[in-house]
Amino acid sequence: MKDGDARDKRGHDAENTAIIGGMKKPAANQKTLGKFSGHLVLLGAGNMGAAMLDGWLARGLSPKKLVVIDPQPGKPVKALTRRGLKLNPKRKPVEAAAIVIAVKPQTAPAAVPPLGVHVGKSTLVLSIMAGRTLAFLENTLPTGTAIVRAMPNTPASIGRGISVAVANAQVSTRQRKLASDLLAAIGTVEWVGDEALIDAVTALSGSGPAYVFLLAEAMTKAGIAAGLPAELASRLARETVAGSGELLHRSELDAATLRQNVTSPGGTTAAALTVLMGPGGFDELLSEAIAAATERSRELAG
């Protein structure tokens, strides 16, 4: 199977779910990072960086192998120093087995170059910065650095994100597996061979949680307009979106089939879908929205 077509077999679904009775159910986390050799340097321990850090520890990574660089680390990160984590070390730099860049893209020109002292011949650099291309990273880090660029999304904060990754020519099979293991700590992992696809990925899954939250917001407003108390409308919309998402996650059926299963001919759902799926409806609006987000991603990436 081609890189862009197949879910990475080392990704979150392959390792953390089992198929039972046609439904995907969570299985125990595997300690995929228990045998990690060397040091792992994390640049940026904000929301996404902290989520990855939690996931790595849950997957067996020893705090003694972690080096965190962050000018304003939170209390949980500081607490890990008691278990051996190195925070903002000032002494001789470590030669890292892997470096993960999780800072805001606007800080990259100043924050990324100092990482060069930690890069050795076998170091993997994994960046989750939006908009910062492989070319930018190659020009900023030592020549010949193995680099993976990935685009996760915000459900990563609860271990339910999805990341799409692309590697430069220097990344070996072993380093690709390591990148998959590091990303799998926050959710599912997909690989593509063409970096240009990352703009569309950003528009679909990177920005996608906002579309889902907007759906819940719009459903709440519509429920209130239909006469429901505001608190009840909000709760109904929230739980409907969350529950439907979980059903979609667990079911082996595709979204179209699940939608059809809810829709009785001539019923209330069919009446609503006639509006949503009609001219100028949901499909057209979302296609326009994702096209606009894709174009904006290209502009930001230069």
Phi, psi at 245, each rounded to 5°: -65, -40
Question: Which residue ranges form the domains of the chain, and what is each CATH number?
Answer: 12-199 (3.40.50.720), 208-301 (1.10.3730.10)
pLDDT value of position 301 = 79
Q: Please report the pLDDT score of residue 7 as a whole number.
A: 44
Say how far apart CA 194 and CA 52 lie, in whole Å: 25
Tokens at 182, concatenated: 């590091």
| b/e code 27-37 from CB counts within 10 Å (16+ = b) | eebeebbeebe
User: Please, are residues 51 and 157 in contact by the beta-carbon 8 Å criterion?
Assistant: yes
Answer whether residue 237 shows pLDDT above 90. Answer: yes
Residue 167 has pLDDT above 50, yes or no: yes
Of residues 64, 39, 68, the one with CA closest to residue 53: 68
Half-sphere exposure (Cβ direction) of 7: Cα atoms closer than 13 Å = 12
Q: Worst-scoring range by mean pLDDT, 25-39, 126-140, 197-211? A: 25-39
Residue 32 confidence (pLDDT): 83
63/49 Cα distance (integer angstroms)? 15
Contact 19, 12 (CB under 8 A): no
Neighbours of 160 (CB within 10 A): 16
d(CA 267, CA 263): 7
pLDDT tens track for 78-119: 999 999 999 999 888 899 999 999 999 999 999 999 999 999
Question: What Rg value do the Cα atoms of the chain yield, rounded?
Answer: 21
The CA-atom distances, in angstroms, between 272 and each of 29, 258, 263, 266, 282 are 41, 16, 10, 10, 11
Helix 255-262, helix 230-250: angle, nearest 10: 130
Residue 108: which of 76, 81, 131 has the closest Cα?
131
Average pLDDT, the chain: 90
47-58 helix and 173-184 helix, angle to the nearest 10 degrees:
100
Which pLDDT band, with edges at 50, 70 and 90, does 3 fall under? very low
Give the model's pLDDT for residue 30.
67
Using an 8 Å Cβ cutoff, are 81 and 87 in contact? yes
Under a CB-based contact definition with an 8 Å cutoff, are residues 23 and 247 in contact? no
Q: Kindly tell me if the per-residue pLDDT of 233 is higher than 50.
A: yes
pLDDT tens digits, one per residue of 13-64: 333 333 323 344 444 446 789 999 999 999 999 999 999 999 999 999 999 9
* Residue 16: per-residue pLDDT: 37
Kindly report the backbone phi and psi dihedral angles of residue 8, in degrees, each rounded to the nearest multiple of 5, phi listed first: -60, 130
Is the pLDDT confidence value at 248 over 90? yes
pLDDT tens digits for 267-295? 999 999 999 999 999 999 999 999 999 99
Contacts of 54 (CB under 8 A, 6+ apart): 185
- The region of weakest confidence among 20-34, 139-153, 200-214 is 20-34
For position 206, what pLDDT does the model report? 95
- Model pLDDT, residue 21: 30
